[in-house]
A and B are shown apart, each in its own frame.
Chain A
Amino acid sequence: MLIDLGIAFGRVAFVMLFVLNVAALLGWVERKQSAIMQDRIGANRASIFGITALGLFHPLADTLKMLSKEDFRPARADRLLFELAPAVSVFFALVAFASIPFGDTLQVAGRVVPLQAVTLNVGVLYVFAMLSLGVYGVMMAGWSSANNFALLGGQRAAALMISAEIAIGASIMGVVMIHGSLNLMDIVRGQGHLFWGWLPAWGIITQPLAFILFVTAGIAATKRIPFDTPEGESEIIGYFVEYSGMKFGMFLMTDMVETIVLAGLSTSLFLGGWQIPYLVADGFKFPWGAGIALAPWLVALLQIGAFVGKVGVVIFFLMLVRWTLPRFRYDQAMRLGWLGLFPLAIANIVLTGLVLAAWGAR
């Protein structure tokens, strides 16, 4: 009983600490990566006892600054919703990561422990449900601020979320059809299959179009540039225009956490999750017959490392997009979502169905 509790706690703690720490680190990654892309140095002044550590203390300084700032609430704001909105926003972003697996099973004290925070049969749906609920925080913020620009931002966020969410849902249907499951663990396991004995059946190989659609719509769902019309700091400032201090910081954190969730989800659905090619439960087994036997804990460690590494690569790519492309105009973003991504995703479903029927897989 106590061991079960400890294991459950450990699984949740790992995911929670991973998400929170990487979210804090992303503030630094974002600054430094954008700086290096633009031939700059980036923030490097914050120091503790003269140690700057490449600017790693800047997220800390930011947090301290936000915590110590005035917590302002407009006089005509709806008090309850105004206070609740950032918490709702960041809460749903944080819990979304729960059903994303970061490794295969591990034997602990005679129990088979799946390496994910919560084992859900509808894991994919759960993640999307949580990400969609996150937009309620944004809408609440927009409405309760008693500010027309904030309201406009919240409305734009809702419209963008709907158009992006539908494209996301349709684009992952192909992956779900191939694996016949909504459980993310099953989907990742299915990607360990090898075509012709050597080509790993990662989602990006079986569903290349869906991958592009998913990442595009996913960036829209995180409300980051180039789909930051809800924010649009040069035109309407956005749904958090009336927020200050750490409440504003929580909206920023939501952005970072959603980026991590999107990266984790793309990794699980399209990049093989924790899979390393040719690594099976008891070591490497190469297609040319050779093999390396490995201890189970080492395999689990390699898998977690592979998952974290892949998430890192996807985050790098998302940051690259964020610092390269200009913002879509509101109507362009809507048109892209409804007239570009959605029909293509439907076409992808039809195509996948035809191929599966011809292949006779199921």
Chain B
Amino acid sequence: MSPMNLRQRFYLVEVLTGLGLTAAHFFRNMGRHTARAFGRKGASGAVTIQYPEERRAYSPRLRSLHRLVRRDDGSPRCVACMMCETVCPAHCIYIVADEHPNPEIEKVPRRFDIDLGKCVFCGYCVEACPEDAIRMDTGILEFSSYSRGGMIYSKEMLLSLEPADASGRPRSPIPLPADRRG
């Protein structure tokens, strides 16, 4: 950094320049807020997005909360091949396999738990799945729980989720873990 010249070291001019800049922003934004308060259309006085009410459109390749894809009869498309459980770097998927009543389908998961407290959202499970049975396209990002156990999402919760709409807005409500219900 070059040493300050005399005008900068005197400080007052520089301070007043800075104050002028922030004051200009204040009065410009204040004018815009006032104009809007009186019902005039115009530029907004703020550049921020009021988050829970307003949202940016999410990118279609966003990796959000997982869902299990359903067959036409509502049963999971998953065949419990354990590919995702094997590839998962965080070891957050737990599957218990069961025989499927249909002899053409080999297996079905009896349990399919994802511990979202451990999940690193790498998306490897989606890539590894040979049946396209797990996807991360729900658009849901705000899941939370008061306990670690509450972060474990079961097969039923994951099966009930819908993919996000075209603008990336989630279509299913955020699933509430057991310790936040009631």
Footprint of B on A, CB under 8 Å?
Answer: 33, 35-41, 212, 320-321, 323-325
CB proximity of A167 to chain B, nearest CB, Å: 15
Q: Main secondary structure on chain B at its contact with chain A?
A: helix
Task: Please tell me which stretch of B23-31, B77-85, B100-108, B150-158 contacts chain A, meaning at least 4 of its Cβ atoms lie within 8 angstroms of it.
Answer: B23-31
Complex: A320 Cα to B23 Cα, angstroms: 7
Beyond the given A41-B48, A320-B23, please list 7 additional residue pairs across the A-B interface where CB-CB is below 8 A: A36-B45, A37-B22, A37-B23, A39-B45, A39-B47, A323-B22, A324-B18
B135 adjacent to chain A (CB < 8 Å)? no
Contact present for B29 and A39 (CB under 8 Å): yes
A38 contact set on B, CB distance < 8 A: 25
B33 adjacent to chain A (CB < 8 Å)? yes
Complex: A325 Cα to B15 Cα, angstroms: 8
A325 contact set on B, CB distance < 8 A: 15, 18
Complex: A37 Cα to B27 Cα, angstroms: 8
A321 contact set on B, CB distance < 8 A: 15, 19
Number of inter-chain CB pairs below 8 Å: 42
Footprint of A on B, CB under 8 Å?
Answer: 12, 15, 18-19, 21-23, 25-26, 29-30, 33, 45-48, 50
Contact present for B22 and A39 (CB under 8 Å): no
B22 contact set on A, CB distance < 8 A: 37, 320, 323-324
Complex: A302 Cα to B173 Cα, angstroms: 58
Which of A39, A212, A320, A323 meets B48, CB within 8 Å? Answer: A39
Complex: A1 Cα to B19 Cα, angstroms: 52
Pairs across A and B, CB under 8 Å, 9 listed: A36-B45, A37-B22, A37-B25, A39-B45, A41-B48, A41-B50, A324-B15, A324-B21, A325-B15
Contact present for B18 and A40 (CB under 8 Å): no
Q: Which A-chain residue is minimally distant from B52 (CB atoms)? A: A45
Given A33-B26, A212-B12, A320-B23, also A39-B46 (CB < 8 A): yes
Which of B15, B26, B46 meets A41, CB within 8 Å? Answer: B46
Contact present for A320 and B19 (CB under 8 Å): yes
A212 contact set on B, CB distance < 8 A: 12
B21 contact set on A, CB distance < 8 A: 324
A33 contact set on B, CB distance < 8 A: 26
B47 contact set on A, CB distance < 8 A: 39-40
Contact present for A36 and B19 (CB under 8 Å): no
Complex: A325 Cα to B20 Cα, angstroms: 12
Given A36-B26, A41-B50, also A324-B45 (CB < 8 A): no
Contact present for A324 and B19 (CB under 8 Å): yes
Given A212-B12, A321-B19, also A36-B30 (CB < 8 A): yes
Complex: A122 Cα to B23 Cα, angstroms: 37
Complex: A320 Cα to B47 Cα, angstroms: 20
A323 contact set on B, CB distance < 8 A: 22
Q: Which A-chain residue is minimally distant from B26 (CB atoms)? A: A37
Complex: A96 Cα to B25 Cα, angstroms: 34
What 6 A-B pairs are tightest by C-beta distance, nearest first? A324-B22, A39-B47, A37-B26, A36-B29, A37-B22, A41-B46
